[in-house]
Amino acid sequence: MNYFVGIDIGSTAIKISVADETKNLVGYKISASGSMFYKYAQEALSELLRELGIDEKEVVYTVATGYGRKLFKEADENISEITANAIGAQQAAKEYGEIKTIINIGGQDSKAISLDGEGNVVNFAMNDRCAAGTGKFLDVVAMNLEIGVDELSDYHFKSVGTPLSISSTCAVFAESEIIGLLGNGHNVEDIVSGVHYSIAKRIVKLVKRVGVKETIYFDGGPALNDGLVNAIENELGHKIFVPEYPQITTSYGAAVLACDAFLSESAN
Amino acid sequence: METEHTIETPHQRQNRHKAMEAISVLNALKEDFKFPIQSMGYFYDRFEKVYCHHEPLHEGKAKIGTMCIQIPSEIIYALDAVPIRLCNGFSTDDEIGSDLLPQKSCPLVKATVGWFASDNFFDKPDITFSPTTCDQKTKAGAIIESFGHTVIDVGFPRTKESEESRHYWRESVKSFAVKLSKFQGKKLTRSNLERAIKKVGYVQSLYHKLTEFRKNKAVPILGVDMFLVTNAFFFDRIDEWIGAVEKLVSELERRANDGVNVAGKASPRIIYTGSPPIFPNYKIPLIIEQSDAIIVADETCSSNRMFNDMAAVDEWNLYDMIDSVSDKYLKGCTCPIFTQNDDRIRRIIQLVRSYSGDGVIYQAFAGCQVYEMEQRSVLAAMEREGIPILYIESDYSPSQHGQLTTRVEAFVESLKNRKRKKK
């Protein structure tokens, strides 16, 4: 049987998806990027194939994407994460509806992508410069508050006071603001919801630049944080769709593209 | 999968945004400075109640919106209604108003228009009176009317010195009184107007008591706290406000006796002038006082200009009272909309002298043309008098904080150096 691999090497994590000839997701793996992208990517791939009982020869086409895509030399092709994200979202949500807007928050960047009815990228906007308001930022916040990143959501929904906005979404400056708020006895819940709303406001600005059109799809690791999802929905004033595995949309898109590329090559 | 959250309505979202703006300023006032004043608690709570919890204060009362300080609150109180001053300091509302007004408009006007556009009030005015002061406010009245709200223009002259202006304004105020009296179904009488004038006069005397303490070498109250106190008068229940300020006066008396100084040893004393800091847009005053300077007096329409001059009544009969009240709002006004405005310059110099000011900080809202234009004559006058002055243009956006801080800090440091050299 033929299998297709999409491998997304991001700043924080390596995401690998394997699809079959019907473009169904048959397996995925997420591991830390660490210091040696290439080595870790190869190891993670072999491990995933072993787990799935797939022989390496059965993998007939591999597409790499993400910041580190050019480091993965074995790939048959590589594409930008924006294209891969669009394809992945379209495919992952096909039973749900037509995706017109994608919000992606990654480890160190965030994007808003606008799609036409056929899943083609019409426009996109990315955050400028730094890790402001990205996954890394949430890591730093959780660390300062001495809670786990996976607890942020619970704290968000427990907040009953006014969310305490963080004026700086710079990971470095926010740290001192948060410490200041804690020092003045403010509760963690209101700080967390304030942080979520600060990020949400920022991302909604990006979305407005490309145009808010439903259905809106949210992926990337931070989409696992339901509190952040809630904050973005409130800022947008629209419901958003979060896929079952928000971290792997882009790698899945690369796998789907691998399948298309292989089928069109063999048809010729 | 589809999430299960319910989404905020646009009003809920605006309210949350405003609450977030409000709480961060209130927290800064409460937490960033030494020797907090106990009786300020009333004001912090009041702002939190209104702007974070959106609780109305005047249910069942007729609420009269005023677009500027020139609408005589004495007449509104006399007719048993509540004045609600609609000058707005929220960036949330400024953003909403930005979609409706030219880009270069004044943020205060945009915020007021945005407030009406969203129709999201804690105490919604039943009717609004708009004095024809600056161009933007004048036109804003008409825009607000287009949203289905009743706005009545009150003609206000642009020259202050002439007898014709005085006459015109007195007639405007009379006509305002007639319209409001009809609206309320109540008669303006000698006794209810006298009572109201005396009450507002008492309010002003309390304000003057507060400001007296700021002449001391050891300043017992921050400028930002003073702005909050006067700002509360925009919307508060007057009797509760009076009670709270009386308590504040006695606490400041005790602090003055004990020599409590909220400023630092070398803190320069600042006179603040220009576009009004209206809650929660305390950006510049906060930066000043966080930069080790202290605001000891101001010449702004959200504070000093609102309380400085009292109605001077000769004969306590109805028409004389109305005329005296009218004169107070014209003759005492130092708004830059007037053709000639030497009064404002004189007032600033007088404040520098009597409050031992080391320097003046002049803020103009980007888009507030009259303040931007009057900058030149004020700067020249200060130079003649040898008074250092810093001119800052800013708006309601939360950005530019870093640059503004650097500018203010550099000015404060230069004042400190001057002070040291004088010694």
pLDDT, average across residues A124-138? 82
CATH superfamily of A1-93+247-268: ATPase, nucleotide binding domain (3.30.420.40)
Which residues of chain A have a CB within 8 Å of the CB of B398? 167
Which residues of chain A have a CB within 8 Å of the CB of B3? 226, 229-230, 233, 239-242
| In the predicted structure, residue B174 carries a pLDDT above the cut 90 | yes
| Of residues A162, A235, A240, nearest to B23 (C-beta) | A162
Structure confidence by residue, pLDDT tens digits, B359-418: 999 999 999 999 999 999 999 999 999 999 999 999 998 777 788 999 999 999 999 999
Say yes or no: B219 contacts chain A, CB-CB below 8 A.
no
Q: Chain A residue with minimal CA distance to B16?
A: A162
The token pair at B226 is: 């003073």
**C-alpha distance from A169 to closest chain B C-alpha (Å):** 12
Structure confidence by residue, pLDDT tens digits, B271-314: 999 999 999 999 999 999 999 999 999 999 999 999 999 999 98
Structure confidence by residue, pLDDT tens digits, A34-80: 888 888 899 999 999 999 999 999 999 999 999 889 888 889 999 99
pLDDT of the residue at B2: 61
Q: What is the dihedral sign for C-alpha B34, B35, B40, B41? A: positive
A·B CB contacts under 8 A:
58
Q: Kind and range of the H or E element at B341?
A: none
Which residues of chain B have a CB within 8 Å of the CB of A167? 24, 398, 401
B79: left (phi over 0), alpha (psi -120 to 50) or beta: alpha
Say yes or no: B28 contacts chain A, CB-CB below 8 A.
no
| In the predicted structure, residue B192 carries a pLDDT above the cut 70 | yes
Residue of B338, B385, B335 lying closest to B360 (CA atoms):
B385
Q: Residue holding tokens 């809670």?
A: A147
Instruction: Name the CATH code of domain A97-242 (choices 3.30.420.40, 3.30.9.30, 2.40.110.10, 3.40.50.720).
Output: 3.30.420.40
pLDDT band, very low/low/confident/very high, at A129 (cuts 50, 70, 90): low
Residue of A16, A78, A91, A85 lying closest to A52 (CA atoms):
A16
pLDDT of the residue at A123: 94
The number of C-alpha atoms within 13 Å of B65 and in the hemisphere containing its C-beta is 25
Q: What percent of chain B has pLDDT over 90?
A: 92
- Which of A100-114, A174-188, A252-266, B236-250 tops mean pLDDT? B236-250
| In the predicted structure, residue A212 carries a pLDDT above the cut 70 | yes
More confident residue, A128 or B134: B134
Q: What percent of chain A has pLDDT over 70?
A: 99
pLDDT band, very low/low/confident/very high, at B423 (cuts 50, 70, 90): confident
| Of residues A184, A235, A240, nearest to B3 (C-beta) | A240
Residue of A247, A202, A249 lying closest to A223 (CA atoms):
A247
Which residues of chain B have a CB within 8 Å of the CB of A95? none
Structure confidence by residue, pLDDT tens digits, A149-174: 999 999 999 999 999 988 776 777 78
Residues in A 211-230 with any Cβ partner in B closer than 8 A: 226, 229-230
The token pair at B35 is: 């020797």
Say yes or no: A186 contacts chain B, CB-CB below 8 A.
yes
Structure confidence by residue, pLDDT tens digits, B20-33: 999 999 999 999 99
More confident residue, A1 or B35: B35
Round the average pLDDT of chain A to a whole number and report it.
92
| Of residues A167, A240, A241, nearest to B398 (C-beta) | A167
Can you give the pTM of this predicted structure? Answer: 0.89
CA distance A144 to A149: 11
pLDDT band, very low/low/confident/very high, at A107 (cuts 50, 70, 90): confident
Q: What residue spans of chain A are helical by DSSP H? A: 37-52, 81-92, 135-145, 152-158, 171-183, 188-210, 226-236, 249-267
Q: How far is CA B51 from CA B14, B38, B123, in A?
A: 11, 21, 11
pLDDT of the residue at A121: 94
Residues of chain A with CATH 3.30.420.40: 1-93+247-268, 97-242
pLDDT of the residue at B1: 60
Q: Where are the beta strands (DSSP E) in B39-131?
A: 63-66, 82-85, 127-131
A164 vs B23: CB contact, 8 Å cut-off?
yes
Round the average pLDDT of chain B to a whole number and report it.
95
pLDDT band, very low/low/confident/very high, at A15 (cuts 50, 70, 90): very high
pLDDT, average across residues B199-211? 97
Q: What is the dihedral sign for C-alpha B95, B97, B100, B104? A: negative
Interacting residues of A31 by C-beta distance below 8 A, sequence separation 6+: A13, A14, A40, A44
Q: How far apart are the first and last CA of chain B?
A: 72
Residues in B 315-334 with any Cβ partner in A closer than 8 A: none
Say yes or no: A208 contacts chain B, CB-CB below 8 A.
no
pLDDT of the residue at A108: 85
Amino acid at B250: S
The strand pairing partners of B272, in sequence order, are B298, B361
Cα angle B364, B366, B368 (rounded to 5 degrees) comes to 65
